Amino acid sequence: MFRKVSILYKENDNLAIETAMKVQEWLKNKNVECVLFHSVGAFSSFNHSEIMAIQSSDAVIVLGGDGTMLSASRIINGRKIPIIGINMGTLGFITEIQRTDLWKSLELIFSGSYDIEERSMLNAQVFRDEETINEYLGLNDLVIGKGIMAKISDFELIINNIYVSTIKADGIIISTPTGSTAYNLSAGGPILFPTLKGLVFTPICPHTLSVRPVVLPDNFIIDLVISSNVKDIFLTIDGQIGFPLKINDRVRCRVADEKTYLIAPVGRDYFRVLREKLRWGER
């Protein structure tokens, strides 16, 4: 039973705010302590005491969309604190509980009827002149791409310290199975079942059509070296954190030691999720 719960809701969303207040009251009636009641968004910042409060919770309830879930996942930072995602938007691959099922789902979860899924996360390090200058954690993906200048870039691809190829493309996506239905899918990459162990390497608009997405084991290390002097190349984590890159910068990506833990409704059918979100079978 969860005795301490944090509620995170999408900022500037009146429906999410109103629902969060109702959930807070519902939890109080269940004698559950609400340790934090705070808005969260892609670029929200939290002070140290707020982060510590979230990280000391038994569970976190997120009211928003997938972006809000991604933010919450990074705040939790790999601790084994399950996240209950309530979809307040439209798509929502990670926030699987629909707002219309909110109260029924909460009753089931707080009576002990739920499953917990372990999701892989990415660790990304940026090296410049052989020194680590930044390190990031993400749940969905990392993207290396250009800014407003429409110019192809060169990326040296190195896997497990073995040179593979120099790829000319608009950019590169490295995705977890959870993130395979995000930018990776739009760029022509495959859908991976979210609890699989692995990574997807997907070029964005490659100059050579033979360069295709590749699925790799979860113990592989991928290095990408920026080998062309193109301005405005950025590393982006989960579509929310950006960092400018320079020629000869090396981005190293691997599956992180940290995990994200998501609460899923008992008997949840992932293929039903795909049918509903991607409208499979419709003409």
Burial 30-43 (b: 16+ CB within 10 A, else e): eebebbbeebbbee
Q: ∠ CA 105-45-134 to the nearest 5 degrees?
A: 110
Question: What's the full length of the chain, in residues?
Answer: 283
Which residue type occupies 46?
A: F
The alpha carbon of 29 is separated from its chain's Cα centroid by a whole number of angstroms, namely: 32
3-state secondary structure of 152: coil
Token output for 50: 């707020």
The per-residue pLDDT for 149 is 57
The per-residue pLDDT for 148 is 59
Q: Report the C-alpha gap between 248 and 19 in whole angstroms.
A: 48
Q: Report the C-alpha gap between 17 and 46 in whole angstroms.
A: 18
The per-residue pLDDT for 201 is 98
Ranges of residues in the chain with a pLDDT under 70 are 41-44, 90, 147-150, 283
Burial of 86 (0-12, 13-18, 19+ CB in 10 A): buried
Burial of 7 (0-12, 13-18, 19+ CB in 10 A): buried
Q: Is 249 a catalytic residue?
A: no
| Residue from 66, 223, 238, 249 carrying the catalytic annotation | 66
Q: Global pTM? A: 0.92
The per-residue pLDDT for 29 is 94
The per-residue pLDDT for 43 is 54
The per-residue pLDDT for 191 is 96
The per-residue pLDDT for 280 is 82
Nearest to 255 by CA among 203, 196, 199: 199
Nearest to 96 by CA among 271, 278, 273, 280: 273
